[in-house]
Amino acid sequence: MTLIKNAIKWIRRATPADWIRLVKKLLPHVAIVISGMLIVFFVIDRVNKPMGFMTNEFHKRITFVLALLAIYFAVQLIALQRRAERAEYRRRLRETQQKQPARPTTSQSARPAQPTRATQTARPTQRRSL
């Protein structure tokens, strides 16, 4: 229920730029679905000719190639968009880290000594049976 409420809130406050961004993200996915449907129709028509999904043999082959290309380019576009989003996220993260004031560093002598593995008491290893 909260998912629906959040979606309604987003729709109410969305700007045209938000809608364009959403369409850019959805179009490659829609192209993959429609291309998949065309490939299924191609296979069904090859197996069951009387259904008559596609009548012209040349049209069948061109549609099949187009569907494969659409899937390929849609996947490439999705990968490109995700890469751009990750780069933007990293850029914003760097900017926010640079804007934060530097913490005062303490000298090594002021810190309490931390025991290292070598100085800790060694415990005998126990084998666990399965």
Which pLDDT tens digit goes with each residue over 4-21?
A: 888 888 888 988 888 888
The answer for residues whose C-beta is within 8 angstroms of residue 60's C-beta and 6 or more apart is: 42, 45, 54
The answer for residues whose C-beta is within 8 angstroms of residue 56's C-beta and 6 or more apart is: none
Report the pLDDT value the prediction gives residue 93, as an integer from 0 to 100: 92
Q: Is the pLDDT of residue 95 over 60?
A: yes
Rounded CA gap, 122 and 115, in Å? Answer: 12
The whole-number average pLDDT for the span 83-89 is 93
CA-nearest of 92, 40, 85, 45 to 67 is 40
Report the pLDDT value the prediction gives residue 10, as an integer from 0 to 100: 85
Report the pLDDT value the prediction gives residue 46, as an integer from 0 to 100: 84
Q: Which of 24-28, 82-86, 97-101 has the highest mean pLDDT?
A: 82-86
Rounded CA gap, 95 and 91, in Å? Answer: 6
Look-up: residue for tokens 């666990």?
128
DSSP 44-73: HHHH-GGG-S---HHHHHHHHHHHHHHHHH
